């Protein structure tokens, strides 16, 4: 293992459990445990089960001050003004060209107090960007990532497993809502959010409390899950991943993320560029596809329309639940809805159909969509 890689507080727990450790976003992270990624996937998707994820490589940034709201309205795409205390919002940070610096979640704790979750690979850049922009506002931007452990408990049994450890009734926390409450004697943020399409929670807690909570959830029946199964779960939902569906070269227009880009709220970084791209038309189209022939579509595989290359796969896999290969891909705009579709796999064109996401059923609360 590369000596320069960071370790989460739970690293030794993963090693002791026999996990295969790989470099990921500068961290030594478990990609799978001895039973394998497929078993971990089914433990999360299956009835009466739940998967437990160490995602402490993610970044956490606290924003406080009299100008917290106008500051976040300036630097994020979504309308932070619509949030109430205890509500979470999916959003993004854009550059002046309208490309994604990162996609994030915003937590409103109070009118002058917010909490952001950012991607691990972008953490330092995100913090530097936010702190530079904060110079014009009465606001403090503090990186709390190194002091915080983030766990995700996802699956049908997540609420039942977590409830005995928590002082708050979890039924009172709706989808994309959170509560600051006691978790095994320590204060934590418990959020009904996730990256799997299953009901579940994300737990922000002090590093000093991480091993105790991890052990208790495993003892209660949760299955530890690594990065491989996590990627399977998020791809089946069609959720964007930075560096795949979104990047600094992609705007919300192409990424189908205009629904988190509130053009009516006023000026924000990247707004003019997004408006121009929307007016001139997208330069590429993000589509969802499923193979009708045998094969597994992988990242970068060519996507063919009427026999000619039109784009490439950004995320793809064999979906155990759909029982076929599925993928997200960028193609030329004129091919978004027209032409015979195929994915080139080892020199062979495997037929595919356009479809919608999620590729499989989702168990998040349909009454409280983000």
DSSP class per residue in 13-73: HHHHTTPEEEEETTEEEEEE-TT-HHHHHHHHHSTT--EEEE-TTSEEEEEESTTHHHHHH
Instruction: Examine the fold and report which residue of 220, 247, 282 is the final residue of a domain before the chain moves on.
Output: 282
In a domain, 167, yes or no: yes
Whether the per-residue pLDDT at 367 is higher than 90: the answer is no
Helices (H), 190-319: 210-220, 227-237, 271-280
Residue 83's CATH number: 3.30.1360.120
Domain identity same for 146 and 255: yes
In a domain, 224, yes or no: yes
Domain identity same for 204 and 292: no
Domain identity same for 68 and 184: yes
Instruction: Examine the fold and report which residue of 249, 282, 315 is the final residue of a domain before the chain moves on.
Output: 282
Q: What is the arithmetic mean of pLDDT over 190-205?
A: 97
Please say whether the beta carbons of 237 and 362 come within 8 A.
yes
Whether the per-residue pLDDT at 368 is higher than 70: the answer is no
Whether the per-residue pLDDT at 127 is higher than 50: the answer is yes
Residue 115 forms beta bridges with which residues?
62, 107
Number of independent structural domains in the chain: 2
Each residue's pLDDT tens digit, 87-124: 999 999 999 999 999 999 999 999 999 999 999 999 99
In a domain, 363, yes or no: no
Each residue's pLDDT tens digit, 246-297: 999 999 999 999 999 999 999 999 999 999 999 999 999 999 999 999 999 9
In a domain, 334, yes or no: yes
Please say whether the beta carbons of 209 and 186 come within 8 A.
yes
Give pLDDT, residue 2: 53
In a domain, 204, yes or no: yes
In a domain, 367, yes or no: no
Domain range enclosing 338: 284-355
Domain identity same for 294 and 271: no
Domain identity same for 193 and 304: no
In a domain, 370, yes or no: no
Whether the per-residue pLDDT at 1 is higher than 60: the answer is no
Measure the CA angle with vertex 47, ends 45 and 52; round to 5°. Answer: 50
Taking each helix axis from N to C end, the angle separating 227-237 and 37-45, rounded to the nearest 10 degrees, works out to 50
Domain identity same for 99 and 209: yes
Instruction: Examine the fold and report which residue of 250, 282, 314 is the final residue of a domain before the chain moves on.
Output: 282
Residue 304's CATH number: 2.40.30.110
Domain identity same for 202 and 336: no
Please say whether the beta carbons of 358 and 237 come within 8 A.
yes
For the chain, percent helix, then strand, then coil, each to nearest 5?
Answer: 30, 35, 35
Domain identity same for 197 and 290: no
Q: What does pLDDT average to over the chain?
A: 96
Torsions phi, psi for 148 (to 5 deg): -120, 135
Q: Which pLDDT band, with edges at 50, 70 and 90, does 365 fall under?
A: low
3-state DSSP assignment of residue 318:
strand
Domain identity same for 191 and 70: yes
In a domain, 360, yes or no: no
Structure tokens belonging to residue 352: 């595919």
Torsions phi, psi for 166 (to 5 deg): -120, 145
Domain identity same for 96 and 169: yes
Give pLDDT, residue 369: 40
Domain identity same for 144 and 293: no
Q: What is the arithmetic mean of pLDDT over 163-170?
A: 96
Helices (H), the chain: 11-16, 37-45, 68-75, 123-133, 158-162, 210-220, 227-237, 271-280
Domain identity same for 212 and 261: yes
Give pLDDT, residue 364: 87
């Amino acid at each position: 293992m590369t000596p320069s890689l960071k370790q989460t507080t739970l690293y030794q727990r993963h090693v002791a459990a026999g996990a295969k450790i790989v470099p990921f976003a500068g961290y030594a992270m478990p990609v799978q445990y001895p039973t394998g990624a497929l078993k971990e996937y089914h433990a999360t998707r299956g009835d009466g089960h739940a998967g437990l994820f160490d995602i402490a490589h993610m970044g956490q940034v606290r924003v406080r001050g009299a100008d917290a709201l106008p500051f976040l309205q300036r630097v994020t795409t979504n309308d932070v003004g619509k949030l109430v205390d205890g509500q979470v919002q999916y959003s993004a940070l854009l550059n002046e060209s309208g490309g994604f610096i990162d996609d994030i979640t915003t937590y409103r704790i109070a009118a002058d107090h917010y909490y952001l979750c950012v991607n691990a690979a972008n953490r330092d850049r995100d913090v530097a960007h936010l702190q530079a922009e904060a110079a014009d506002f009465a606001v403090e931007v503090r990186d709390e990532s190194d002091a915080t452990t983030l766990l995700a408990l996802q699956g049908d049994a997540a609420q039942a497993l977590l409830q005995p450890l928590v002082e708050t009734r979890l039924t009172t926390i709706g989808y994309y809502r959170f509560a600051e409450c006691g978790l095994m004697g320590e204060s934590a943020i418990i959020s009904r959010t996730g990256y799997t399409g299953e009901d579940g929670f994300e737990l922000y807690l002090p590093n000093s409390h991480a091993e105790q909570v991890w052990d208790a959830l495993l003892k209660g029946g949760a299955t530890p899950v690594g990065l491989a199964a996590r990627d399977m779960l998020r791809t089946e939902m069609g959720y964007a991943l930075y560096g795949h569906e979104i990047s600094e070269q992609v705007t919300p227009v192409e990424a189908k993320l205009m629904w988190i880009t509130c053009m009516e709220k006023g000026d924000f970084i990247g707004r003019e560029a997004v408006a121009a791209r929307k007016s001139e038309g997208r330069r590429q189209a993000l589509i969802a596809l499923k193979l009708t022939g045998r094969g597994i579509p992988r990242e970068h595989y060519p996507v063919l329309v009427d026999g000619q290359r039109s784009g490439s796969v950004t995320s793809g896999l064999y979906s155990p639940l759909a029982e076929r290969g599925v993928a997200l891909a960028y193609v030329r705009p004129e091919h978004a809805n027209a032409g015979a579709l195929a994915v080139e796999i080892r020199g062979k064109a495997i037929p595919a159909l356009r479809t919608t996401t999620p590729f499989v059923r989702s168990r998040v609360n349909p009454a409280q969509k983000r």
